A and B are shown apart, each in its own frame.
Chain A
Amino acid sequence: MSTQQIQTDVETIIRRIRPDLHGAIRPDDRLRDDLGLDSLHSMELLSEVTEQYEIDVDPEDLQEVRTVTDVVTFLAALLEQRS
């Protein structure tokens, strides 16, 4: 799974959660401050994306995830571990 693919999937889910979001989503966008995702939205994002990749995560491990890049890096690391 390429980092680019993960990024695309993450963006797709963000747009489903926040359909009112306009404009490009940049890697360094902060989930809360730039994209308007509150903590429940962020959990939903991580829930959906980890389900899509069939990864089990402890919700406590998600707390340092603040930007789109953080999400992508977090997922890439888990996928790397699994393979």
Chain B
Amino acid sequence: MKALVVGGTGFVGMNVVRALVAAGHEVSATRRPHGNTLFARRLGAQLVHVDLDDKDSLTDAMRGRDVVFMCAGHYPRYSLDIDAEVRVARARVRNTLDAARRAGVERYVLTSSVATVGPPARGRRYSGEQDRAEPRSLRSVYHAVKAAIEDEAARACRAGLDVVVLLPTAIFGELDVKAGTGYLIVALGNGAMPFYVEGRTNVIDADDLARAHILAAERGRPGERYIVGGHNLMTSELIEHIADALGVAQSVQRLPARLAGLVATLSEMRAQALDDGRRPLIARELVDVVRFGRWVSTEKAERELGLPKPTPLDSTLDKACHWYARHRYVRPRQGDRHDRVHTTDPDRCRNHHPAYPS
């Protein structure tokens, strides 16, 4: 296929580009006028300048492409003005959808988030695509933004565009240059994680997610949403596994979600007021994704897309930690654990709840 990856210098976008190139597809990827392309320009895709606020530049980039992968997630820096952030996210996704229609793209794959999935209906342990997000979760900027972009995608689909939506869970892997989910690794590795919030989560390997994008382009049904996840576990378990992968002691204190939310909000207010380019102590988004975290079933993606069994959790974390160590975000682990990067040993994940009903 001839593919365009919008957001081709971001974490998900770069992994999708890499998977597409490896599979022999013809790939171009969008980039901003400024920013870090050190990693993206080595992946084998042609980088094209686009402005997400400019439909014409988007249409030009999409012309002649069979599939558009919209991986340019809007990640608000702060949670303090939800309406403004939602407006920006909605407008940019709408621009890409309009451009795809104008350019005659055959399929548009939107990377959204499992944040738009709600708690499981009574009697079920795992959430599925049919479970609606709780209204209170939409008071979180991250959740509100994802719900809004899916709303735009659904509208474009009703107007005739072939759209498939992916709902990834927490993504770990290589090329997370800005340490999004990888913040957990970088912060733990540097002894800088202030606290954690206990809750349900699900982890997917970035390579698995990238392959899921290709499967969605090839096999997804128009208008459908697919949860793409890996391992269901508690955040405390995840932190233990990350600490183990890093070879550091796990000594992070648990904080109640309500208090953590307050700390994150105050921390954001302080960072916004200082505006010195430093991150808040902890992102509100990280607290919210745990507060509203779910264990999920990937049954639909397995059945309809052919989503394969997930990479073992420890292989994923080893790979991510190794990448961060190689690029000096964290100290290299002493010993040989990283020699096992990319191995698959199902027993190492035996304690996790599979993301598919067994």
Residues of A within 8 A of B (CB): 16, 18, 20, 36, 38-41, 43-44, 46-48, 50-51, 56-60, 62-63
Contacts and interface: CB of A to CB of B under 8 A. Distances in A.
Which of A41, A51, A57, A58 is packed against the most chain B CB atoms within 10 Å? A51
Nearest to A43: B36
Contacts of B275: 20
A16 B126 CA distance: 47
Given A18-B277, A20-B276, A38-B277, A44 B327 contact: no
Given A38-B277, A63-B328, A48 B42 contact: no
Contacts of B278: 38
B249 to A, nearest CB: 24
A49 to B, nearest CB: 11
Contact of A40 (B36, B41, B276, B326): B36
A36 B327 CA distance: 19
A50 B38 contact: yes
B281 interface: no
A47 B328 contact: no
Contacts of A43: 36, 38, 177
28 contacts: A16-B34, A18-B277, A20-B275, A36-B276, A38-B277, A38-B278, A39-B328, A39-B329, A40-B36, A40-B177, A40-B178, A43-B36, A43-B38, A44-B34, A46-B38, A47-B35, A47-B36, A47-B37, A47-B38, A51-B37, A51-B41, A57-B38, A58-B42, A59-B38, A59-B39, A59-B327, A60-B327, A63-B327
For the side of the interface on B, what is the size category? 10 to 19
In the A-B complex, the 3 residue pairs with the closest CB atoms:
A47-B36, A47-B38, A44-B36
A38 B270 CA distance: 18
A33 B38 CA distance: 23
A51 B278 CA distance: 25
Contacts of B177: 40, 43
Nearest to B186: A39
Contact of B277 (A16, A36, A57): A36
A40 B275 CA distance: 16
Contact of B42 (A39, A51, A56): A56
Given A36-B277, A40-B178, A43-B177, A56 B41 contact: yes
**Which of B34, B39, B276 has most chain A Cβ within 10 Å?**
B34
A40 B35 CA distance: 10
Interface in B31-49: 34-39, 41-42
B40 to A, nearest CB: 9
Nearest to A45: B36
A33 to B, nearest CB: 14
B327 A48 contact: no
Nearest to A48: B34
Interface string B267-283: 00000000111100000
Contacts of B42: 56, 58
A54 B38 CA distance: 12
Contacts of B329: 39
B275 to A, nearest CB: 7
Given A57-B38, A59-B327, 16 more contacts: A18-B277, A36-B276, A36-B277, A38-B278, A39-B329, A40-B36, A40-B178, A43-B36, A43-B38, A43-B177, A44-B35, A47-B38, A56-B41, A58-B42, A62-B38, A63-B328
